[in-house]
Amino acid sequence: MCSGERVSDVFVVVSTIDQVPLARHRAVKTLESWGLDEETVFTASLIVTELVTNVAEHAAAESPTATVALAADARWVTVAVHDTHPRLPRALATPHDDGGRGLRMVMLLTEEAGGVHTVEPTAMGGKHIVVHLPR
């Protein structure tokens, strides 16, 4: 990938648990095709896995599909997952809380890589979870 070039891929998955490995596989193939290093591919694809799993387990009733967006430029790799469920997720506060483990894992992976993450409500009532990982 040229230093100034921005590449992206957007795809939709059905909000069922059997779609999770398909989303991860697509993410791995896309990220590898962009020439990203193995660690970044692993981290980004694991984040896709966790976020799509969360949609399937917690939002499928009101969000029959999820949109996965991947992008990269010279500085950042971006992973975003969008669903139409109105409830914003909360990360696990302590190791023994119920729920929130997937988002907590996403947060920890992102922070360990030196990245940033946001949970953003949308005007239509859904949400985007966006992760930026440094290249």
Q: How confident is the model over 19-53, as pLDDT tens digits?
A: 999 999 999 999 999 999 999 999 999 999 999 99
Q: For the sheet with 127-134, list strands across it.
A: 7-14, 65-72, 76-83, 127-134, 116-121
Q: How confident is the model over 60-81, as pLDDT tens digits?
A: 999 999 999 999 999 999 999 9
- Element spanning 102, H or E: helix 101-112
Compute φ and ψ for 123, nearest 5 degrees. -65, -25
CB 19: neighbour CB atoms within 10 A?
18
To the question of pTM greater than 0.85 for the whole model, the response is: yes
pLDDT, position 118: 94
The β-bridge relationship of strands 127-134 and 76-83 is antiparallel
Q: Can you read off the two tokens belonging to residue 120?
A: 């953003």
Q: CB of 50 within 8 A of CB of 105?
A: yes
Q: Let me know the angle formed at the C-alpha of 39 by 58 and 91, rounded to the nearest 5 degrees.
A: 30
Which domains, ranges and CATH numbers included, belong to the chain?
7-134 (3.30.565.10)
- Res. 3: pLDDT tops 90: no
- Res. 1: pLDDT tops 70: no
User: Distance between CA 120 and CA 89 in Å, rounded?
Assistant: 10
Alpha helices in 35-84 (DSSP H): 38-54
